Structures are given as structure tokens and as C-alpha cells.
């Protein structure tokens, strides 16, 4: 460590001798000098930020009672430990200043320039994003956050530091707020830190989350670790001793580290694999750090000469790095008494990247070199691709959230193209996923695949090391069923966008055919010119939207023609719609359609056998030539289980406060006040009665009641109430 006196001498050479510097500032700068020397200008700038931030927060205190400025120091100190540049350290000192003090945008720009202001402003905007809201709002907030990350990765690194210190001091907050912040950290910040390769940060955040949400479990694991650490170290020392001798004999300088398991990892393994604490420590691990890449492989050879390797557990992440930049050789061997040891071998640079991830490539450099910039781009390219692809279409935050979860939480596999090019995919990816990673057009046209020289179905799962060849045809197009088994965000996004475009084309064609046929029927084909020139008369910006609305049942031919036709024609039979079909169409219009595997589908049809309406449990079936047919879940006409590949998840697209219509057939004795008793029961439950149709024959009354209700539970309540009315024989949903 650089001598503190030398550091202070450097500072004194810059500032007037009569100026006093706080202990915290000296410590901050001293730690920074330990990593790499600072220029005089950088020291001045850090001091200026330190001084301004301290004055701005001088009247503020944290929940613990300590000065708020202490938090700013801790945030900056974390950034120093992560070797960040002086600009990032300055932004860390100022990260809460604009939001929480009288310091203004202009103040920061005038003192430190636009770049540092943009960093501070970016952190402020991230701090405003809350993730505990309802799903759609949460999805929108995820999208905002990741747009920020994709534009400047330094912003999230500062936010990571802020979140880390907040988690370290979370015990001073009310319990309900502790839980909210801990859950947000578990679901958002820890997975993102992992995805960006910041393993140490991820591990510490997850341990702090466990300590907050499950304090008894955390303390129990901590106690067990403290009692077993000595024994574990003894095993590691015995295992390492012969390796140590051979490395010295071969003149390889090295550092051997024991790999401590973090508490949350232990808890997850005990939970998910139903293992005891002792079973988890059956596999011990060490890490060997060497100076040069070629010495990694030399060390591997030495270890395999001493101990018996388990070949199926060998992984070379140096030759095939993980998607977050991680590089290392992993080998598992049998030590004494059959105890297994996992050994990780890597260079110092690889170790730094493994522990600090994307932050390692910023280091203390103001001007990042080409190699570091390439590494940073690899870390965030997956995110930029995802954001870019979604920005090309209508922003759909819910879809973004679904795709993001795929990319954040999945493991990786490595497969090869016929030319030997390496592709990184999510675990259990299919040939379709591979095809879309090669090129979108290859994905659209893929008909089958060869894996390791053998023809396989498109829904087969790929494994690391597979050689994959895609066979294509210009006549092939994506199928809705592909969405059931593709794994990658890129493939899902391409397929959904293609299906949506095709549905738009088909709905326009269908609407045009319906309207043309109707106009020919009344011999008014020239009316199409008037409709085309004045679509706003119907509330649409162009005629294509009119066609789409017509094909999806949102408007009728009669409504269109009556709007543009001057004379009074009999349009009663033009739509060829019965009372029942009008009711069903209106009910479906309220629902705004259905969502099929996340796609708001305009080109669907409803099974006439069961006439599903909102509130019913429904399923979708891919009908060749007619898109997707929606049936009630209990419909007897749903095709057999042998066609499961053509079944899709379908749900109504109904808002929380929206109601839907339902038809009830009520059978009872024809008596006085029969209708009055039923309507009073309905109104007593605050349910809107839309229409009634009652017929009586031979002492039996049959009523068709159309009601507007919120959900099926409300429907069950009204049915139960009607059943106890005197003379009621039966009530059933139609």
C-alpha cells in the first residue's frame, strides 16, 4: 500500500498548506493511490466534489442518526475498490445531491462538466424507478432502467454501489421498507450484477437479502460456517500441498485461494436439492491464479498428473468465454479418501473480470482502450440488442419484462456452426434459437436441423459442443407453435413480430373482402372511394384500420355503410347477424380481444360450438389455414390430446375494472311475479341487467337474461341466489 505520508505530500503539493483535509477524504484518496496514481487535476476534482457534497448534505441525517454525507463517502469508497475512474468516483460523491439538496443541474455542469452531470442525473433517474408496483407499471420501470444501463454502463455501477451500502445499513429502516428493498435487490440488482459479471457484488447482495428476509436461517448458516471453516481449510491445505511443490518445480508463480461459498448459495442448494449442510461441503473448491494464459494449461496438466480427473466435469471457459466475459478452466478431481475438489485456473486479469465483471474494464482509465471497450460491449451487447429490437416496434413493456427474465436468469451452452463458428445460447435452446442467432431470415425459413450430422426436430434441445446445421426453404414461415419451445429472447421477439405483421396483413385482406362483398350486394361499390378518402368519419386515420376493425368484429358493415351512405337502405340483413351472434360479438368487443402467448391477436376465430366469451376458461388451437380458434376450456369439440403441439395458452385481454356480459337461461314455473323476483335478486347484487326475453308455454317459463358482471365469482353468486327463488327449476350459463 502506498505510504499515507507520500499521498498526503502529493495532496499538499496541490493545495495551500493552511487547508485542512478530513480523515475520510485522506482515506478515500489514499485507497485510490494504492490502485494507481492520480493526476493533480483528478485529486483537485475529487476534493472539490467531496467538499461540495459535504456542504450540500450538511443538514441531513440518515435513519441511523449518522450524517447523510457518510453514505456518499461509502458509495465513493466502493467505486474506489472497484478501480473506477475519478469521474465515476466524483459522480458517486454527488449521486444524491441534485435529488436531495439545493444543488442544481447548472451547479454540477459548471463545476464538473456535462459527463459527470449525466452520470449523476442517470443515477437520480434510476433511483426514481420503483419495482413494487403492479405488473404493467413494473414492466415499464424495468424498461426505463435497462434503457439507462444500455446507454452508459457506469450509471448502473454507481447505482450498484448505492444499493450495496443501503443494504448494508438496511436494519435502521421500518420492517416493511426493509422487505421491499430486499425483494427489489433480489429480483433486480443481484441478477443484473451476475449478468454483468460482477460476481462478488452479486454474492454480497444476495447474502444481505437473505440476512434481511430470513435472519434466523442466515444466522444458523453463519454459525455452522464458523465451526467448519478450520476443518475445510485443513482439507484444502492437504490437497494444495503437492500442487504447490510441482508449480514451484516448474517455475510457475501462482496464488492459491480457497473458494468460500456465500450463505445464500448454501441456502439455495439446501433448499432446492434437499441437501444437508455437510453434503454441500462434500465438494471443496480452490482457485489457482497464474500470470500467463499458457501457464493455465500447464497448471491443468500438473493437477491431472497428481489427481484423477472427472472428465465429464471439465470445462474450458478460456477457449469459450461465457456471455458475461467470464474466463477460467474448471476441472474436478478426486483427492485423498475419494473427496472431490473443483479447481479453477485463471490469470490475474481473468480473476479480476470474474469477480468485478464489467467494472474491471473501466478500471481507473479515463480513455478506455480498444480491448477494454470490446469487453464492455460483450457484457452489454445482449441488452443493447434486446432494447434495440423492442424500440424498432411498438414498445411493449410487458413483453420486454418477459424477454428480460429469459436473458437474466438462464444458463448458457456453446454450439458450433458448420464452419466452426462458436455461438452462445441459453440452456435448452432449440435449433430455431440457433437459426435466429445466425440470421433472422435463416430463422424465418428453417424447416429442420442437423445436429452432429443427424436430422432432428426443430423443438430438440441443444447441448454444449453440438455442431448445428440449419436446413431452410423459401416456402417456410414461422409457426405460432414455435413460441412454445424457443428459449432465447431474440428468437421469441422475431417470431412475435413476424406473426403480428402477418396478422395485420391478413386482417386487412379479410376486412377488405367483407366490405367489398357487402358493397356489391347493395350495388354501391363506388362508396369505397368515399370511405377511403374520409376514414376519420368513423374515427380511424386510414382505411386499413377500418378493414382491421371490421375483420376483428369491432365494427360492422352496417355501421360503416350507414355512416357514408346518404339514402336510407334496408341494412337490417346486411350483417347476417342473429341476436345470439350480436351478443357474443359485443361481449368480445368489451374484452378487447384475447392474448395468445403474449401476442394481442387480431386474427383469431371463436369456436361456434361453444361460443366463448370473457370470463370463460379458454384454450387456443392452431387451425390450418384459419389461424387460431378459441374454445371454452371444457368444450367437447377441442381436438384430441394427440395434437398437443397445436394447443396454445390463451387468455382474455380484460382490464381490472372492466365488466363483461353473460347469458343466463332460467327455467321455472309460470307464475305471478316470476320476473319481478328474479330482477330484484339481480339488482340486489348491484348487477346491471342488459336485456330480458321471457316465453311461457304450458305452465313453464323460460327466460334469457343478459347480465353485465365483473367475473365468474359474481356469476356464481347470482346463480346461487336465483336458485333459491320459489318455483325456479334450473339456471344455466349459455
Residues with a catalytic annotation lie at 99-100
Closest CA to 107 of 116, 41, 21, 152: 116
3-state secondary structure of 331: strand
**Long-range contacts from 44-48, C-beta under 8 angstroms, 24+ separation:** 44/14, 44/15, 45/86, 45/90, 45/112, 46/86, 46/89, 46/90, 46/93, 47/11, 47/15, 47/21, 48/111, 48/112
User: Are the CB atoms for 577 and 639 separated by under 8 Å?
Assistant: no
Residue 634 makes CB contacts below 8 A (sequence gap 6+) with 617
Cell of 284: 471443496
Phi then psi dihedrals of residue 410, to 5 deg? -85, 150
C-alpha distances in Å from residue 249, one per residue of 287, 302, 725 = 19, 11, 96
Please tell me the distance from the alpha carbon of residue 109 to that of residue 87, in angstroms, as a whole number: 13
Please tell me the distance from the alpha carbon of residue 213 to that of residue 132, in angstroms, as a whole number: 16
Strand pairing of 604-606 and 627-632? parallel
Cell of 557: 358493415
User: Are the CB atoms for 399 and 598 separated by under 8 Å?
Assistant: yes
Please provide the distance, in angstroms rounded to a whole number, between the alpha carbons at the two ends of the chain. Answer: 81
Phi then psi dihedrals of residue 27, to 5 deg? -65, -40
Amino acid at each position: 500500500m502506498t505510504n499515507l505520508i507520500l499521498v498526503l505530500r502529493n495532496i499538499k503539493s496541490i493545495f495551500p498548506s493552511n487547508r485542512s483535509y478530513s480523515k475520510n477524504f485522506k482515506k478515500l484518496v489514499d485507497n485510490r493511490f494504492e490502485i494507481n496514481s492520480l493526476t493533480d487535476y483528478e485529486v483537485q476534482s475529487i476534493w472539490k466534489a467531496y467538499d461540495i457534497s459535504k456542504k450540500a448534505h450538511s443538514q441531513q441525517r440518515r435513519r441511523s442518526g449518522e450524517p447523510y454525507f457518510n453514505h456518499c463517502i461509502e458509495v465513493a469508497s466502493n467505486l474506489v475498490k472497484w478501480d473506477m475512474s475519478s469521474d465515476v468516483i466524483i459522480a458517486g460523491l454527488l449521486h444524491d445531491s441534485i435529488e436531495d439538496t439545493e444543488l442544481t443541474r447548472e451547479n454540477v455542469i459548471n463545476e464538473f462538466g456535462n459527463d459527470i452531470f449525466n452520470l449523476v442525473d442517470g443515477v437520480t433517474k434510476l433511483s426514481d424507478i420503483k419495482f413494487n408496483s403492479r405488473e404493467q407499471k413494473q414492466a415499464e420501470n424495468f424498461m426505463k432502467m435497462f434503457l439507462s444501463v444500455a446507454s452508459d454502463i457506469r450509471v448502473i455501477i454507481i447505482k450498484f454501489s448505492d444499493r450495496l451500502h443501503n443494504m448494508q445499513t438496511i436494519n435502521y429502516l421500518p420492517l416493511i421498507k426493509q422487505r421491499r428493498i430486499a425483494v427489489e435487490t433480489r429480483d433486480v440488482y443481484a441478477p443484473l450484477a451476475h449478468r454483468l459479471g460482477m460476481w462478488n457484488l452479486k454474492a454480497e447482495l444476495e447474502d444481505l437479502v437473505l440476512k434481511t428476509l430470513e435472519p434466523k436461517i442466515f444466522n444458523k448458516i453463519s454459525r455452522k460456517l464458523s465451526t467448519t471453516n478450520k476443518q475445510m481449510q485443513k482439507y484444502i491445505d492437504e490437497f494444495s500441498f503437492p500442487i504447490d511443490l510441482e508449480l514451484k518445480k516448474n517455475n510457475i508463480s501462482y496464488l492459491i485461494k480457497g473458494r468460500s461459498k456465500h450463505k445464500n448459495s448454501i441456502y439455495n442448494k439446501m433448499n432446492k436439492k434437499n441437501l444437508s449442510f455437510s453434503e454441500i461441503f462434500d465438494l471443496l473448491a480452490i482457485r489457482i491464479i497464474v500470470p500467463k494464459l499458457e501457464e493455465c494449461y500447464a497448471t491443468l496438466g500438473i493437477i491431472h498428473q497428481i489427481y484423477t480427473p472427472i472428465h465429464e466435469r471439465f470445462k474450458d471457459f478460456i477457449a469459450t468465454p461465457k456471455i458475461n466475459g467470464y474466463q477460467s478452466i474448471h476441472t474436478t478431481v478426486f483427492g485423498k479418501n475419494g473427496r472431490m475438489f473443483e479447481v479453477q485456473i485463471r490469470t490475474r486479469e481473468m480473476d479480476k473480470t470474474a469477480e468485478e465483471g464489467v467494472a474491471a474494464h473501466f478500471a481507473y482509465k479515463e480513455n478506455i482502450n480498444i480491448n477494454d471497450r470490446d469487453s464492455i460491449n460483450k457484457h452489454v451487447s445482449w441488452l443493447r440488442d434486446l432494447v434495440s429490437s423492442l424500440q424498432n416496434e411498438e414498445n411493449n413493456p410487458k413483453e420486454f419484462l418477459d424477454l428480460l427474465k429469459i436473458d437474466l436468469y438462464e444458463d448458457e451452452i456453446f454450439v458450433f456452426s458448420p464452419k466452426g463458428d462458436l455461438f452462445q445460447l441459453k440452456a435448452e435452446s432449440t435449433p430455431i434459437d440457433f437459426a435466429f442467432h445466425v440470421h433472422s431470415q435463416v430463422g424465418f425459413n428453417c424447416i429442420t436441423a442437423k445436429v452432429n450430422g443427424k436430422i432432428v426436430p426443430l423443438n430438440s434441445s441443444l447441448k454444449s459442443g453440438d455442431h448445428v446445421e440449419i436446413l431452410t426453404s423459401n416456402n417456410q414461415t414461422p409457426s405460432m407453435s414455435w413460441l412454445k419451445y424457443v428459449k432465447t429472447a431474440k428468437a421469441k421477439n422475431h417470431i412475435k413480430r413476424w406473426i403480428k405483421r402477418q396478422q395485420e396483413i391478413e386482417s386487412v385482406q379479410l376486412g377488405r373482402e367483407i366490405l367489398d362483398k357487402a358493397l356489391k350486394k347493395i350495388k354501391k361499390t363506388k362508396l369505397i372511394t368515399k370511405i377511403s378518402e374520409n376514414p376519420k368519419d368513423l374515427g380511424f386515420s386510414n382505411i386499413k384500420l377500418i378493414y382491421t376493425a371490421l375483420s376483428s368484429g369491432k365494427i360492422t358493415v352496417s355501421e360503416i355503410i350507414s355512416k357514408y351512405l346518404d339514402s336510407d337502405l334496408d341494412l337490417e340483413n346486411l350483417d347476417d347477424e342473429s341476436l345470439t351472434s350480436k351478443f357474443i360479438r359485443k361481449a368480445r368487443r368489451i374484452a378487447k380481444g384475447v392474448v395468445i402467448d403474449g401476442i394481442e391477436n387480431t386474427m383469431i376465430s371463436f369456436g361456434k360450438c361453444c361460443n366463448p366469451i370473457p370470463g370463460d376458461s379458454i384454450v387456443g388451437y392452431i387451425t390450418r389455414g384459419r389461424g387460431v380458434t378459441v374454445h371454452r376450456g371444457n368444450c367437447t369439440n377441442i381436438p384430441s390430446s394427440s395434437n398437443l403441439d397445436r394447443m396454445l395458452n390463451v387468455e382474455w385481454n380484460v382490464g381490472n375494472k372492466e365488466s363483461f356480459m353473460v347469458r343466463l337461461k332460467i327455467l321455472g314455473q309460470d307464475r305471478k311475479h316470476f320476473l319481478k323476483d328474479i330482477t330484484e335478486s339481480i339488482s340486489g347484487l348491484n348487477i346491471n341487467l342488459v336485456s330480458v326475453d321471457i316465453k311461457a308455454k304450458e305452465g313453464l317459463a323460460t327466460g334469457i337474461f343478459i347480465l353485465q358482471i365483473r367475473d365468474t365469482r359474481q356469476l356464481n353468486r347470482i346463480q346461487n341466489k336465483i336458485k333459491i327463488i320459489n318455483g325456479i327449476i334450473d339456471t344455466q350459463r349459455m
